[in-house]
Amino acid sequence: MDECWADIPGSYIFAKMRPSKTWMPVCIGETRSLKAEFSLHEEYCACYRTEGTHIHVHVNPEKEERLVDEADLTARYTLPSVCCDGSKNLRSKVR
């Protein structure tokens, strides 16, 4: 999947569509390199490929703004703490 992405910074949401036609976040994060981040997701959690059917990205070169985006989204949504393959969701911020 990493060959599809540019080496640019941004915040992102891996999500899937609910039966109610609304998005359900599976993972929320920020990175200085979308290409590097998404290749890591393939390595440590197959859930992002199987559970998350879409990736929503906001390209943003400012790290502080990306952190605010991530914190805002994480505060709004409860993410699964365990992936569908049984591995720990490394980006989970379940409260």
Is the overall model pTM greater than 0.85, yes or no? no
Beta strands across the sheet bearing 23-31: 23-31, 10-17, 54-59
pLDDT at 29: 84
- Note the pLDDT of residue 47: 53
Which one, of 85, 27, 78, lies nearest residue 56 by Cα? 27
Q: Per-residue pLDDT for 31 more than 70? A: yes
Q: What is the band of 52 on the pLDDT scale with cuts at 50, 70, 90?
A: confident
